[in-house]
Structure 1
Amino acid sequence: MSSLHGNLSGNQRRKMKSAARLYAVQALFQMEHSAQTVEAVRREFLDHRFGATYEGQEMLDGDIDLFDRLLEQAVNYQAAIDQLTDRALVAKWPLGRIDPTLRALFRAAGAELQIADAPPKVVITEYVDVARAFFEGGKEPKFVNAVLDHMAREAQPEAF
């Protein structure tokens, strides 16, 4: 753990990791829709999201290391992550047909499952929470849970 996080409580570190996951999904979504490079989007998030005040609300401070690793892994291994996601989706719903926000979420979660720093159940719970943030009251969180469970069992079978 870096010395930067040394004085933080466990709860503060968890919130920062949760924020980093949310920001990674947003950044991956933005990259897909704007054709910006990973470096341009990364810089924008670090300059304008992490701990910034936006429209009178203070944005959460995120775990920059986790955010960087998620973006890097998702971009460098996108084809493999997308294939993993496709295998977890039902045949009628290939990755290209699902909501772009969900696509970004599956890429960030797939990246984190491959990094394997956190237990799969933690990763699944965190990204289901991200889905709830984007799709209030919808069926998407249950869908995300099912897809990520399948992805996790394939990516880390020893963890189950």
Structure 2
Amino acid sequence: MTTETANRSETRARLRRAARLCAVQALYQMEVSGQGAAAVTRQFRDHHFGHDGEPGDYIEADEDFFEDLLKGIVERQDEVDGHISQVLKEGWRLSRLDATLRAILRAGGYELLARTDVPPAVVINEYVDVASAFFDAPESGMVNGALDALARRLRTDGP
């Protein structure tokens, strides 16, 4: 792999990582505010994401990936929630989880279900990292366990 190819790959990974974090934040915002996906997507594009030459502190993210995640999660939420509910430990209900934790599981669940271009191990690692940004070890471990179990159910290419 050339240095240029490696740099492009690292940049793509960094921009997607930011898009995943923003998607989780957007899902949380949608849940607590009651806003729809289109309004929140517009708000993130207008006020959170930066473009070359713009002043201010903005997040550099893969905006198209962010929008695909958010749109897909909303469109397939019942399906994603059903799969997540099947892998939660007995006695746990998705509706009773913290809203941020629910958003993380939904985003990771959607990627495992619909974004087959992303290897399961990448999905799991990325969302465990997102969980670690918000929570301590127990929640990150729960995200790891749930997404690993979900990957085993949904993907033949393994976790």
Same fold (TM over 0.5): yes
Partner in structure 2 of residue 124 of structure 1 = 124
**In structure 2, what is the Cα distance between the partners aligned to 1:83 and 1:32?**
18
Unaligned runs of 5+ residues in structure 1 are 1-5
2:89 aligned counterpart, secondary structure: coil
Question: Could you tell me which residue of structure 2 aligns to residue 151 of structure 1?
Answer: 150
Question: Sequence identity, in percent?
Answer: 45
Please give the secondary structure, in 1, of the residue aligned with 2:92.
coil
Instruction: Tell me the C-alpha RMSD between the 2 structures.
Output: 1.8
Tell me the CA shift for residue 20 of structure 1: 0.3
Structure 1, residues 112-154: CA drift from partner, whole Å, max 9, x if none? Answer: 112212100000000000001111x331111110000011111
Aligned to 1:17: 16
1:26-105 equivalence runs, <5 A: 26-51=25-50, 58-105=57-104
Moved over 4 A (4+): none
Q: What stretches of structure 2 of length at least 5 have no aligned partner? A: none
Q: Secondary structure in 2 aligned to 1:60?
A: coil
The superposition leaves residues 57-91 of structure 1 with CA deviations (integer Å, 9 ceiling, x where unpaired) of 83431111111111111000000100111011012
Secondary structure of residue in 2 paired with 1:58:
coil
Tell me if structure 2 keeps the 8 A contact 1:74–1:108.
Answer: yes
Read off the aligned partner of 2:157 and give its amino acid letter: A
- Alpha-carbon distance in structure 2 between the residues aligned to 1:88 and 1:98: 14
How far, CA to CA, are the matches of 2:78 and 2:90 in structure 1?
18
Q: How many residues are aligned here?
A: 149
- Aligned-partner Cα distance in 2 for 1:38–1:84: 21
Counterpart residue type for residue 69 of structure 2: L
Letter aligned with residue 127 of structure 2: Y
